[in-house]
Amino acid sequence: MITFPLDVSFKRRNLDYDPSKIGNHDYDCTFLQYMNTFTGVPFEADQNSHCHIVEKFLNNALCASYPKLGVAKKSEFITQTTFKATVERNAKLRM
């Protein structure tokens, strides 16, 4: 039996697609159309290469079907009024 140490940390890979869009009918239809174009691995390959080709195709399908629209803000820390006041204050301090 193989055991793994519990204190091993690893870096998670950032997703190149937006998982919140999964389940939306329009995006799901695009994903299914993309997946239907997969014809399999076109040549005989070892298991690692085979898995890499399939994983790469799947990741490309997810990125094309569920695109990210840029960086989303987690929360709004500074209001527009506060930001404007800060800019004006900094401009006065530089004089």
pLDDT tens by residue, 38-83: 988 877 878 788 888 889 999 999 999 999 886 555 556 777 788 7
Which residues span the domain enclosing 71? 19-94
Better-predicted residue by pLDDT, 45 or 3: 45
On whether residue 7 sits in a domain, the answer given is: no
Question: Number of structural domains, the chain?
Answer: 1
pLDDT one-digit tens code per residue, 7-31: 555 556 778 888 889 999 999 999 9
What is the spatial distance between Cα 10 and Cα 33, in angstroms, rounded to a whole number? 34
**Model confidence at 94, in pLDDT bands (50, 70, 90)?**
confident
On whether residue 8 sits in a domain, the answer given is: no
pTM: 0.58
The pLDDT, as a whole number, for residue 90 is: 84
On whether residue 4 sits in a domain, the answer given is: no
On whether residue 9 sits in a domain, the answer given is: no
**Model confidence at 35, in pLDDT bands (50, 70, 90)?**
very high
On whether residue 52 sits in a domain, the answer given is: yes
On whether residue 34 sits in a domain, the answer given is: yes
